[in-house]
């Protein structure tokens, strides 16, 4: 049974993690969510639910403006061959979310932990980060360190990768 938004908030509270959540109209894309930039502080992300040729699942969580070369990503994340997007049905069964609501908070439903979380190193360098709390009608702000605590508490040790080099050029 997928975790609910109430389950998520209770889990975070149980870990002693403080968050702030803002409700808003449904947001399905990074472009739509950029309209909220003046009202929600912190870094924002794009989240990709992917699978490889052997069926291994990956959740790539990157800063919203990161350039990700899907043709070469498998080389960096240890996938078996090129990756493709997981279906909406697979996403809902494993993360408990619908397309447009993909979030690292979805790994709460991935028990036992089988999805490999790949996290953009830029998102954990400090400051607050923002994600949908399992629905795209809200955005939850969490401290970067607390995001790592959450992921580890769910059994998901993230693979940290830099998606942009020092000059801002993608290194993928």
Whether 169 is in a domain gets the answer no
Find out whether 41 and 141 touch, Cβ atoms under 8 Å: yes
Whether 170 is in a domain gets the answer no
Query: Over the stretch 153-169, which tens digit does the pLDDT of each residue have?
Result: 999 999 999 986 543 44
Whether 167 is in a domain gets the answer no
Whether 17 is in a domain gets the answer yes
Percent of the chain surpassing pLDDT 90: 69
Q: Structure pTM?
A: 0.88
Q: Six-digit token pair at 97?
A: 């979310």
Average pLDDT of the residues of the chain: 88
Percentages helix, strand, coil for the chain (3-state, rounded to 5) are 30, 25, 50
- Residue 85, domain extent: 5-161
Read off the CATH number of the domain in which 70 is found: 3.90.960.10
Whether 168 is in a domain gets the answer no
Total domain count for the chain? 1
Find out whether 153 and 30 touch, Cβ atoms under 8 Å: no
């Amino acid at each position: 049974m997928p975790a609910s938004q109430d389950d998520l908030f209770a889990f975070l509270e149980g870990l002693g993690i403080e968050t702030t959540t803002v409700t808003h109209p449904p947001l399905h894309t990074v472009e739509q969510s950029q309209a909220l930039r003046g009202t929600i502080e912190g870094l924002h992300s794009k989240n990709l639910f992917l699978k490889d040729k052997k069926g291994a699942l990956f959740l790539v969580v990157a800063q919203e403006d990161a350039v990700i070369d899907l043709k070469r990503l498998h080389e960096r994340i240890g996938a078996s061959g090129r990756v493709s997007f997981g279906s909406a049905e697979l996403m809902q069964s494993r993360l408990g979310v619908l397309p447009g609501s993909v979030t690292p908070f979805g790994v709460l439903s991935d028990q036992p932990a089988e999805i490999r979380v790949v996290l953009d190193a830029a998102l954990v360098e400090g400051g607050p980060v923002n994600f949908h709390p399992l629905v795209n009608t809200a955005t939850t702000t969490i401290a970067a360190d607390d995001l790592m605590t959450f992921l580890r508490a769910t059994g998901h040790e993230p693979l940290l990768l830099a998606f942009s080099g020092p000059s801002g050029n993608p290194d993928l």
